[in-house]
Amino acid sequence: MKGVLFDLDGVIADTSVYHFQAWRKLIKDHFNRDLPDELEKQTKGVSRKDSLTAILNYLDIKVSDADFQEMTDEKNKVFRELLASLTPQNILPGISDLISQFKQHDVKLSLASASLNGPYILEKLQLNSVFDAIADPSKVAAGKPAPDIFLAAASAINVDPKDCVGIEDSIAGIKAINKAGALSVGVGAKNELSEAKLLFPDTSALNYDQIESAWEEFK
C-alpha cells in the first residue's frame, strides 16, 4: 500500500452535515419546501451542480440556467458561513491517529474530494501540510460516481491506483474508488455502503492494520 486517497466531508471532518444544512436552507428560502433526510444520501459525495440537479428533480422543479447558477452560488455562501467556525476540533475521531499511522508507514496522502472548498477546509483544520497532494475537482471531466477524481488523486502522488486505498462515506464515492481500481474502505452503514470492500461503522473504528491486511489480500 503506497497511497491513501481521502474523501473529506464526512471522513476527515463532519462537514457533510453542513452541506445538507445549506441545501435545506436554500430550498426553504426559495420554494418554502422541506428536504427529506433520504436526499442527503443522494447528494453525499456528489458535486455542487449534480446535487442541485438531484434536489430539483426530486422536488420536480425547473429553473432557468441563470437561477441555477445563482442558487449554487447562494448555497456555497451559506456553506462557507457554516465553515467559518471550523477548527482542528472538527476533525472526526480516529482520523488524526490514522493519518499518523499512514505517515509512519510512508504511505502518501492525497485528497480526492469533490468539494471546491477542499483546500479551504484543510486549512481550517490545519491539515494542509500533512497532505502530499490535493486533486482539483474543477479539472476532472466527471464527478463521483465516475472514478476521475480518485485517478487524479493517485496520479498526483505518482502511485498506481491499485497500490492505493480510498476512504469514503458516500455511495457515489465507493463506486468511484472501485472503478478507479483502488481498495474501497467505507465509513458508515452496511445497507448504504454495501459495495465497500472493507467497512467501518464510523471513523473512530478505522484501523491501519486492518486496512493494510485488506489491501494485501486485494492486490
Contacts with Mg ion, 6-25, as mask; x by CB under 5 A: -x-xx---------------
Pairing of strands 3-6, 133-134: unpaired
7 annotated active-site: yes
- Whole-number Å distance between alpha carbons of 7 and 29: 30
Which residues in the 16-75 window bind Mg ion by CB under 5 A? 45
67 annotated active-site: no
* Among the listed residues 219, 216, 208, the one whose alpha carbon sits nearest the alpha carbon of residue 106: 208
From ligand G6P, Mg ion, none, interface partner of 110 (C-beta below 5 to 8 A by class): none
Alpha-carbon distance values, 32 to 25, 58, 175, 198 (Å): 9, 15, 33, 40
Q: How many residues bind ligand G6P (CB under 6 A)?
A: 16
169 binds Mg ion (CB under 5 A): yes
Q: How many CB atoms lie within 10 A of CB 41?
A: 16
203 binds ligand G6P (CB under 6 A): no
Give the footprint of ligand G6P on this chain (CB under 6 A): 9, 16, 19, 43-48, 51, 76, 113-117
Known catalytic residues are 7, 9
